[in-house]
Structures are given as structure tokens and as C-alpha cells.
Amino acid sequence: MAVRKLKPNTPGQRQRSVADFSKLTKKKPERALLAPLKKKAGRNSDGRMMVRHQGGGHKRRYRIIDFKRDKFGIPAKVASLEYDPNRSAWIALLVYADGEKRYIIAPQEVSVGDTVMSGTDAPPEPGNAKALEDIPLGTSVFAIEMKPGKGAQIARSAGTYAQITAREGKYVTLKLPSGETRLLLGTCMATIGTTSNPEHMNLELGKAGRSRWLGIRPKTRGVAMNPVDHPMGGGEGRASGGHPRSRKGVPAKGFKTRTRSKKSDKYIVRRRNEKK
């Protein structure tokens, strides 16, 4: 789906670009598949700010997405492609043969009127969900489970996919969007194809107000603060004030924060930032 540039009628419109929504077919979401979404503004359960630069934003309602794809053997027709304010990819409304409706993350290759299915009997075609052990090698997949039955966790954002590169024993080797190569159990479910809306990465917000609509608050550079406020603060003129680090003192630019003894290390074949 293309990116649309607007006429520069105002300064804010000059740099702004928006997604082309022409492929989307429905404006109002399915009412039964909506849930309330309370704003957190970066606060935890005690009300303390844990993440800065969050707050405000347009009111949203959550679309209940079927990340498990556990309705096996029943074909479903794609009734509509819709916008979801809670994610970068589009979502698709499925109407199953028994009448049930569910939302899924829309594949790029699927259009309204197509039929998709999940389970062992489903053919290896875009939009169909199967266990990794049943999908041919070299196939692109998205919405991938990390634990069987838990629901999709990997490659859910716009334009992402992973590739099945090998199969050995009960494990399948996947090359992830980050460049990492890791092992996953073959019984984990995945959807064949690529996530929709790949042009999302090319969007330009164009003005500060559009960031505020998304719930992003302004950021102050550390070097502009005083020494009491930030490790990079202070100094005469534009002096940066030491080694780059966060407000909490965690060094930036290559400092490893991953736990050294993390149990999942044994499943990682090749790290995303490993030099060739």
C-alpha cells in the first residue's frame, strides 16, 4: 500500500505523509470484538511514572485479535480489511463457516473475499495458519508463537516476516526480522505470508501535534539539562558532559543489557548484531 503526500496548504502539511487507506473496506469496527482501553501514560499500578514521554493521545478502543488461530479445519472468508489504531499493520475480519467472527492481523497478500484456514489440512498459502513443522522450508511467515498455545508474539508489526531456514528434530530454525537466527518448537503456530502495510516505515508525521495525537510527549535532550537532572547535563556552552548514557546512568552506544545467564540463550543460533 502506497504512501500519500498531501498538498502543502499549511506548514504542518508540507512534510506530512499519510497511508493510503484505499484498500481498507470498512470504517466502523465490529462492535462485538471491541474492548475498552485504559490509558497508562507510562505509569505502573502505583501511579508512578515508569516510562517518560507518554501521555495524552486520541481515545482508542481495543480490537480483540485472534493471535492463537486455534479454530482448526473451519474455512473463513475475509469480510473486510480495517484500520487498527493500536498497531501499525491492518487487521482483517474473518467470518467462519459456522458464523463466528474474529479479527486477525491482515497478510499483505490477502484481499476481501479470499478464504483462509488454520490447521494441518490448510494448504501452505498466504493467510493460512499452520504449525511451523508443517510449513515448507524457505516460506515467509509472520505472527509466530514462541510457546505452543500462547499466541503470536514475533513478527506482528507492519511489513515484517520471518523465514523458515531449517528443520531438525522437534525444532525449526527461523531467521527473524531483526536478523537473529533462533530455534523454535515445531508445534508453534505461524501465519504464512507477510504482514500488511509495509509502507508504514516511510510515513512522516510532519508536525509535533501529530506525535501528541499518538500519545507521545516532548523529549528534552540530556545535554540541555543541569548536572542534577541528567548524567549528560552541565558544562559550559554546548559541552556534552561525559560518556553518552541515559537519565538512569545506563551507558548507550553498545552497552549490553541482556542477562548473561538467560535461559533462552541456548535457542539463539546467531545474534542479530553478530559480526559476519
Give pLDDT, residue 2. Answer: 81
Domain boundaries, the chain: 24-201
Q: 125 with 192: CB under 8 angstroms?
A: yes
Q: What is the mean pLDDT of each run of 10 residues along the chain (276 residues)?
A: 84 89 86 93 93 93 94 92 93 92 93 90 90 91 93 93 92 93 93 93 91 94 88 84 83 87 90 75
The model's pTM is 0.86
* Residue-level pLDDT at 1: 55
The class level of CATH for 24-201 reads mainly beta
Model pLDDT, residue 67: 94
